[in-house]
Structure 1
Amino acid sequence: MTNKPAEAALLQILKNTQVVNRPFFQFVRGVSNKTNKNDALGHHEADKNSNILLADALNLIAPKSEVKNTYNYKPSIINHLRKGSAQEQYDQYTRETTQKQKTKVDHQMNHLMEDLRVLYGVKPRSNYDVVDLSLLEIKKHIRLLTKESQIIDLIKVLYYQDKLLVGILNECMFNKHLRNLNELPVNVESLGYDFMIRNKWSRINYIQFNIVLMKKLRDCGETSGMLRNLEANFKLNYLPLIENKTLGPFYERIIWRMYFQYRDQLKQETHDELYFIKKLDYKNALMIWQTSPTSKHHQLSAFISHHFHDKFNILQRLFWRLCNHKSVQTIIEQDIQNNSSHSALLIDLKKFTVKHRLHSILFNLENMDAKTRSQFYLSVNGMESIIELMNKDLQPHDILKELRQIRQDHVLKALKLEPTPADSSWSWVSSFMNSK
């Protein structure tokens, strides 16, 4: 038996209730899924952007392989009617010049040099590693130092180990990067006897260092210290060693250059170049001429040529004839007028005397060995080259001809040939020499 009142109530409820159809549930499910998907994509894009920003901050993003060099031009019918044809519009665009990425050459060269050092096993030496090296290797190391602190540190290391030899300290003085001498562990202007004993210095080593120190003080702008050095040592130490031929040409040139340049500022009695040329021999006279100013060249060269004429060998005689030649004097005077204090020709002449040791060159023209003959030919060629570099209109052709004749005669003597006009065996030698 059914309960009719209950069934009637249930039917009334179903009738009044709005039933949700199936498509509605599908729509709600689709919206929910789309929302979840968009949320996931948003999180992914945020993570991607953050990663790009982090990589850019760490400079990890590689540059673009190609530079964009096109133009943002879009053809349009309206623009074609208003502004003209596409070609006309394209020509109006400003073309930006593309800049290539600059290569860091210094950075790459540093890496290359480091690789080469590793490849060849070249390691930078510390000052403590240098102590046990030979004197020659220590000098090479000092020449490579470019910081004053490194030089001072090396001097301190060697000083406290009693290994500061005169050659090492002189090489440090020659290094232009050493300027502040007050930072050294010892007062170089007053080295004591105890210092000389501990570091194995002789008296001549002490005087040689004082000569180098005098030049260093002048280079550092300490003129007062240089003058004190010159006044205290010139008559007492420097001049006696020059007269006794104890000093080498290098040290002697420094003394003469400092003395004649600053003799007006010395408090003691001084003398000019001619006084010492008369007093000393040809070697010292040549050193004085080498260090003399350009303005005194003519006076000193003429005096030396006259004073030592009887003691010259054949090359020395030709050289001083060249120095006193009228054309050479004319060129030097022109250089002085143009450059005020320097002459390229005079510098070449002075370099020639230093390179070929014109102060000590001795030739026995009758009997020369292979070494002396080679030195003789090099000297002749060097003097000939100086003449050939001069203006052809001013070349001293008489001296040039005599040089070539001297060389030809000695070549023939070396070949032990007796030249005669009818002899054709030496004609090739004569033609070759004359062509020079």
Structure 2
Amino acid sequence: MSERWARMALSAYRYAGAVVYPFLGGYISWRARKGKEEHHRRRERYGFASVERPVGPLVWVHAASVGETGAVIPLTERLLDLGINVVLTTGTVTSARLAEERLGDRVIHQYVPLDLKTAVSRFLEHWHPDLAIFAESEIWPMTVLELGERSIPQVLVNARLSDRSFASWKKRSYVAEALLEKLAHVIAQSEDDAERFRQLGARPVTVSGNLKVDTKVPPVDERTLHLLMRQVGNRPVWAAISTHDGEEQMAARIHRNLHEYHSRLLTILVPRHPDRADQITRMLTTQGLTVARRSLNEPIEANTDIYLGDTIGEMGLYLRLTEVAYVGRSMALAVSGGQNPLEPAILETAILSGPNIGNFRDSYQRLEEEGAARIVNTPGELEEAIDLLLTNNNQREKMMLAAARTVEDMKGALNITLSTLEPFVHPLVVKSRLGTTRFRMR
């Protein structure tokens, strides 16, 4: 009976996609006008390739957004080093820019096709991947089914399921099982994630740890860093990073309150979505705060209250200007689940967070146990924690050292992932090295 319901649900999904397909042009164009799509590349979302497929074995790697893209870049580099072609798809303009910055022309970048049978089929008919690798929780029904029909192995790496996603899939467990059974392997971030995938029907499942721990130290332009460090001088600094609506207002209140005790305080504010920068700037200036924006190359002056990090791909710069960071989406009103604390940990930062960290529970647990992170429940507690860390050098340095130690202990996910992928990758390496593979239309 469950198989029948799964077939009916997936058939309905396919039919709904076919119905809406003719009307998506206006939606994609609207997104392009908003800067959420690249106008001249919008056809890629319908599966139309913008470049030719190279000769030889090819792996399709998909990462939805910036975080997932950063996590799979080291894995992608390893595949490229083995002589395997990689087409990397992402879903956002910002993740596309990150891929270009880190990988350049070594990789073929395309925007991921919409999860509609026509678009996915067109994409697969052009690229004919030998293996598909998806990051974290990217499980799209039509994509999974179309790959399955072509007997292309599918592997989910750095896999995780948030509380909300797991609860949603549990309500449709028959659909989850019908899709997950088509995956050749699931490589999960934690034991909790692995157990959730097993409950939903995935087999086999391996635990690797978090690939984001094995990413390179976030890059920085040294010249820019030294310039800004001179501008900051010896002012007390804290940062609120990856913030969402409501958390910028909270950071502004905390800055005003702490300014009474730390008269030269500088707050670095890095919103998760920089396209909100104009709105955030208006809110801050209305409250009488002086703002300098990174995107406008405005300098940090003696009277600057807030340095607004409204750029993409420069978290390594912002975190190097501070030793204390609040990681956002953990006290926001509209969203919750937290943001990844590993980037500040890699850069030896004392980490503070609100209580809503379900998306990164395992990482926070490790960091908190080692004394590298502190979870606070209210804005008042956050203010007190920031004040303590700005005042108490020993406590701050203790947390910073604990962060570096914890990250070092957590490494190894990349090697486990590569080892698990070896049965799928090794045949492609052999073909590439023998030079016997010639791409043929099937």
Answer whether TM exceeds 0.5 for this pair. Answer: no
TM-score computed with the length of structure 1 as normaliser: 0.26
Instruction: Looking at secondary structure, tell me which structure has more helix per residue.
Output: 1
Higher relative contact order (CA 8 A, sep 6+): 2
